[in-house]
Chains A and B, each alone.
Chain A
């Protein structure tokens, strides 16, 4: 059976979508980039970061968890939303500890790349300097909690793709942290470096050991082109 298709409008552009798609999925397919951080195309959405918030039919809603519907009118690329999204990115920068100059993810990091794309020159909210730990108990992977932005990608990947439940949250509010399924740290869990959960972290919290600094500065994912360029390229290709 072919799913029914319908149209909606985003920033004045007609987009075709099929039943069951979220707003972000339909827009990705159409080559329209909605900034996002916790969303991962191969995982069920969870709506943690709120970066993908758009004004959908007049209400602020996260595009990754909102099903696309016929006739929707969506605002995405507006100065207000860009500034709100930048503020959210800033919050993540000051909530954890993010010294990009000596971080392994630099150039390849989605948080950093969104900072660039959304025009954050420097975070100006007060830095919180939380005390967080590094978990190096696993032979192949280390967890640098300073960088964790609590996006839940690893939690979802481990539960739904790997069938393992290695990760979970602990605590609530500003004290919330990522937790692993063993008191002794990641090394005592079922985690393996080939797990989906090991490859989905948008920042440098889950890092595979001995694989770093291999791509030279200048050739990393976001060195030359802003995050989202790949999605936008689909549209430009189609138009030309």
Chain B
């Protein structure tokens, strides 16, 4: 391997470094939700105690302090990743205790033991992830008995399993909504040395955490689903791609896998079914939102930069290691397991015509009870708001930054593939919030997460962010707005993958649904310069120590 290839890969992921950083890595989650809950104050407290600014490493090389994008804890922000362990509901008062514990336990808590162990985490204050499931529906009603769905599936032929999934009308829960039965059928019928089934647990969309909840609270159901899919596809290898932010789940997930092996639910001749050999391994991500996109995920699994692939060929024909591969979201696999267990009729009795079943919704922000809710498809935004105690919302972001900015006039719309399609992220904003400031933070998110492969997304996301900065500064003109809109639409049309195609959404959909907020911020002149004269002269004033000749700005 060439050095240039190593750097190509390493420099892509936020969690890899090319130069040594602090032994302890403190990464604070930076999202509109964490900011609303006081993340900035927590950051300041860390900065003051350590004597460093965000992004810096302390002189003794002990600590690096930085921001990171959403870590999947939106219901318990402000949260942080410390050496891979998760700290939640932080306040500035927690900071001295955390730093003292890290100094004290330096060796035990250092990066040397990654993924972190639960025993390690116990030594850190606030290392406690609260259970997130608030309302279970038919899918998650307990008790959950391990392997019921799997055994039902193994009593059928693989073709019959696929038929069941197809007639259940199950569609992917990761956001795109592709019919799962068709995906499995296409993968099964593609020729290849091996077939692979991948579980997408990258869950990078800000505001969603339902997959994390499922992996923490229902791991056996996830593995049942994955094993059923393996059987249906004729695959021997399942891989769970777990986002690096969820490394704290590593230990218990491995434990679950070990138990399943000992029970004959993984390995050779599973449940006595001759010839069905299947095992699951877990691979960690390293901080890149784009790796949730299925072809990037495959590249990442192969140890490369997570840039998406061109399609065709689709993964169902040539995916992981160029072999036929199906990629399913965590929740999709759980649905599959339950459909096999409880039957197609049970599943289709919930939801709407085009959206069968229920959906897990991750709710965060200005509401009384943030957490995961299982609701039938078809539920309206206002019904959801009532459920979570967020009735005074002025704005709801459905399906994360890449989704829809919904204004009160549209709260009657429903959550379903045929209306507001969603991967589950639902961020609620109350009257005290600035919608455009939130849109700006989302625009920044896409700048940071663009993989850089293609021009419109790589450059366009930055230009859009700069346009939004001008709006927030009250300096944008009407023609700036129409240019920004045109630029956004170009980025949507010209970008290579779903990230770029949806990156302008926060701006385009707030423009459409909250036009009055943009109008209120317009500069009432036909033209304003890119920067004010005052700003353009600031450096000269500092260097030369005198004021400009003229007073104009």
Contacts and interface: CB of A to CB of B under 8 A. Distances in A.
B454 interface: yes
A121 B241 CA distance: 48
A224 B525 CA distance: 42
A165 B459 CA distance: 26
Contacts of B487: 87, 125
B135 interface: no
Interface residues of B, number: 37
Interface in A145-187: 149-150, 165-176, 179-183
A181 B310 CA distance: 26
A15 B448 CA distance: 42
Interface string B206-244: 000000000000000000000000000000000000000
A35 interface: no
A67 interface: yes
A92 B447 CA distance: 16
Contact of B460 (A45, A60, A91): A91
A144 interface: no
User: Most B CB atoms within 10 A — which of A88, A92, A95, A150?
Assistant: A88
Given A126-B463, A182-B3, A53 B494 contact: yes
Given A65-B310, A87-B487, A179-B4, A50 B459 contact: no
Contact of B7 (A166, A175, A179): A179
A168 B455 CA distance: 17
B490 interface: yes
B459 A166 contact: no
A92 B460 CA distance: 10
A128 B447 CA distance: 14
Interface string A35-62: 0000000000111111101000000101
Contact of B450 (A48, A91, A173): A173
Interface string B446-470: 0111111111101111110010000
A173 B494 contact: no
Most B CB contacts (10 A, CB to CB) among A46, A65, A167, A170 go to: A170
A165 B453 contact: no
Contacts of B447: 173-174
Given A168-B5, A171-B11, A179-B8, A92 B459 contact: yes
Contacts of B288: 172
Interface in B1-59: 2-5, 7-8, 11-12
Interface string A114-136: 00000000000110100000000
Nearest to B2: A165
Interface in A77-108: 83-85, 87-88, 91-92, 94-95
Given A167-B4, A168-B8, A182-B3, A174 B493 contact: no
A168 B451 contact: no
A47 B310 contact: yes
Nearest to B495: A50
Contact of A172 (B312, B451, B456, B493): B451
Interface in B408-456: 447-456
Contacts of A165: 2, 4-5
B286 to A, nearest CB: 12
> Which residue, B4, B7, B453, B496, has most C-beta atoms of chain A within 10 A?
B4
B494 A174 contact: no
9 closest A-B pairs by beta carbon, nearest first, are A176-B452, A168-B4, A91-B459, A181-B4, A65-B310, A173-B450, A168-B8, A165-B2, A172-B452
18 contacts: A53-B493, A53-B494, A87-B486, A87-B487, A88-B490, A92-B455, A95-B455, A95-B458, A150-B455, A170-B8, A170-B11, A172-B11, A172-B12, A172-B288, A173-B458, A174-B450, A175-B452, A176-B458
Given A85-B494, A91-B456, A95-B458, 12 more contacts: A47-B453, A51-B455, A60-B494, A62-B496, A84-B493, A126-B466, A165-B2, A169-B11, A169-B452, A171-B12, A173-B451, A174-B452
Interface of A: 45-51, 53, 60, 62, 65, 67, 83-85, 87-88, 91-92, 94-95, 125-126, 128, 149-150, 165-176, 179-183
